[in-house]
Structure 1
Amino acid sequence: MSFLLILFVPKNRIREAHLSFLFKQVITWLFGLLVVERNLITYPYRLFFRKANKSSFTFEYFVYPAMCTLFNLHYPENKNAVFKFCHYFLYSGVITGFEAIAVRYTDLINYKKWTWYWSLITMWFTFYLSRIYHRWFFKDKLNRSIVE
């Protein structure tokens, strides 16, 4: 993810990237803790903060926010609804696909009272929330670029 961020975040949009990253961390902290504390998902093997937090630190606080950064920076703002739907589906679907593989073939994630489609729905929803926030925060910049 670090390599992808270096490669796909333009220097003139680092401020936007930083905001998207931090906002997604806030959202995933809330939803991630809610899901693990209600015992819907467990993470039997965690590399960081094993005793401090039951959620997956690597995914919740780095991988997912980094994906959200790329999602917001490369959002097809001036395209039609089909492109926008595909953008949401691509990002949510790729993460859900990797999660489903991890559930099936590794001990990194165990679904207790959870399924892949709940992951897809919650990821779609959190991408939507971050998109709304991003548009609101940078509304002057978006309006200026549309006019020019």
Structure 2
Amino acid sequence: MNMERWILVGIIAISILAIFLFVPRKKAREAWVLFLSLQIITWPAGLLAVEWKMIDYPIQLFSFANEFNRSSFTFEFFLFPVTAIIFSLYFPKKFRKIGTFFYYFLFAGFFTCLEVIIERHTELVVYQSWHGSYTLISVMVTLFINHTYYN
């Protein structure tokens, strides 16, 4: 197994560990709703970005699935949904608008920085007509939609 596949396995392992560490048992049902509702958004959006040749994921954990789905299983079905769970469960209710914006920016920035680093140093993500700023904006919008649904 090459380094890229180990990175994908590590991201899934960290995502699962984060669920156990950061999701209280009494909020497990809410976490599942957040997890699944975010996947409803990310799956078609990821497919469109790949089909429109904006972004490419040349190395997949399940290479046999490349024929049917070229989007990133690891990012769209694990890392981003877990990030959204933590985002919404710990969303501070007493922030003013500027504080709320920075909270969104912090989470979207984390996700974007991770993707940009992976894009530059591995073969997991290849930007074609995509840019890191598109990730930042799309993640912020997606978190907003998902959090609004959660509320």
Amino acid in structure 2 at the alignment position of 1:123: V
- 1:1-148 pair list within 5 angstroms: 1-48=15-62, 49-135=65-151
Amino acid in structure 2 at the alignment position of 1:103: E
Stretch of structure 1 that moved more, 6-15 or 45-54? 45-54
Q: Deviations over 1:87-125 (max 9, x none)?
A: 101110001001111111111111111100001000000
Displacement of 1:36 in angstroms is: 0.4
Aligned residues: 135
Q: Deviations over 1:26-69 (max 9, x none)?
A: 00011111100101000111112222210111111111111101
Distance 2:44 2:108 in 1: 18
Distance 2:45 2:83 in 1: 16
Distance 2:79 2:115 in 1: 12
Using the size of structure 1 for normalisation, the TM-score is: 0.88
Amino acid in structure 2 at the alignment position of 1:17: A
Task: Structure 1: state its 5+ residue gaps.
Answer: 136-148
Task: Structure 2: state its 5+ residue gaps.
Answer: 1-14
Amino acid in structure 2 at the alignment position of 1:19: V
How much identity, in percent, do the aligned residues show?
A: 39
Distance 1:27 1:117 in 2: 19
The alignment's C-alpha RMSD in Å is 0.9
Amino acid in structure 2 at the alignment position of 1:62: F
Distance 1:8 1:78 in 2: 21
- Specify the alignment match of 2:5 in structure 1: none
Using the size of structure 2 for normalisation, the TM-score is: 0.86
